[in-house]
Amino acid sequence: MKKAQRDKQIDRLRRMKDKDIDLSDIPEITDWSKVVVGKFYRPIKKPLTIRVDADVLAWLKSQGKGYQTRINSLLREAMQHSPRR
């Protein structure tokens, strides 16, 4: 499909009303036991400069690749367990 055709089709789909969409070929979900909430959610990351004790940073880095992700996880866990959210 050429770009012009694709753009035209996308524009047509955007203008469709919800009631005009045919959902008959989509099976109804009745078993929600395996649903994962927020599976594709990715919070916006913001760059930040902080000062951390050298031994704390050394420990985080000694755990292997991804120390910034671990810092974020530790901060998120503290936030979630905080009495004031």
- What is the DSSP secondary structure assignment for residue 33, as one 8-state letter? T
Provide mean pLDDT across the span 51-78: 96
Give CA–CA dist 72/45, Å, rounded. Answer: 10
Provide mean pLDDT across the span 8-16: 94
**What are the two backbone dihedrals, phi and then psi, of residue 6, each rounded to the nearest 5 degrees?**
-60, -45
Whole-number pLDDT of residue 19: 92
Nearest to 57 by CA among 71, 72, 77: 71
Contact yes or no for 63/70 (Cβ under 8 A): yes
Give CA–CA dist 29/35, Å, rounded. Answer: 10
Provide mean pLDDT across the span 40-54: 93
pLDDT tier for residue 85 given thresholds of 50, 70 and 90: low
The domain ranges of the chain are 39-85
